Amino acid sequence: MSENYALKAATRSGLGRKAAKKDRLNNSIPAVLYGHGIPTQPLMLNQLDFVRIFRSAGESTLIDLSVDAGESVKVLIHSIQQDPLKDTISHVDFYQVRMDEELTAEVELVFIGEAPAVKDLGGTLVKNFSNIEIQCLPKDLLHNIEIDISALASFDDLIRVKDIKLPAGVVSLTDSEGVIAAVSAPRTAEELAALEEEVVEN
């Protein structure tokens, strides 16, 4: 059973860059709430509370958002903006979902197990995907998807998107033939020597 996340927000009265900068100086993050058939609402969040929830919930987990201590609504973190110099979150977009309406979301892939082709044959694990896109009702959203790499026993083995067993009501929108993970064979002595020669020449 997935964990429940709750977050409080306040209506943001001041708009524009100056107001947003003032919010950040007060350890708050400017945000906006929007959704299908609802008016866009500017918000203000406590920075520490949001960062704590974002690190755990990510962008594919429903959050109960309460504005001005009112009744909570179900939202997803649609996007965040970060300050590249300070490495802090500068703005957040929330999307209010309808529980009877399907949505799409990017879901993180979590790799578990140990690949025999790495452990026993000395290969290198190659991960081509860190997430996939799914479509489902909000109640069926997945926080993450586990990929068991113990199926990679040889260098010919592949784990494709179509190999993921998704729960009923959840479909993948990512190319089904996409290779999620494989194991590459170790380089031969001849390949390593050729690589060293190329480095010296350059």
Q: In the prediction, which pLDDT does 131 show?
A: 96
Helix (H, G, I), strand (E, B) or coil at 19: helix
- 151-173 confidence digits (pLDDT tens): 999 999 999 999 999 999 999 99
Q: Which residue has the higher pLDDT, 14 or 159?
A: 159
Mean residue pLDDT of the chain comes to 88
- 20-56 confidence digits (pLDDT tens): 555 555 678 999 999 988 899 999 999 999 999 999 8
CB 115 within 8 A of CB 52: no
Q: Residue 171's closest CA among 92, 96, 102?
A: 102
The full set of domains in the chain, from first to last, is 6-96 (2.40.240.10), 103-190 (2.170.120.20)
Residues 6 or more apart from 112 whose CB is under 8 A from it? 146, 147, 148, 149
Q: In the prediction, which pLDDT does 1 show?
A: 42
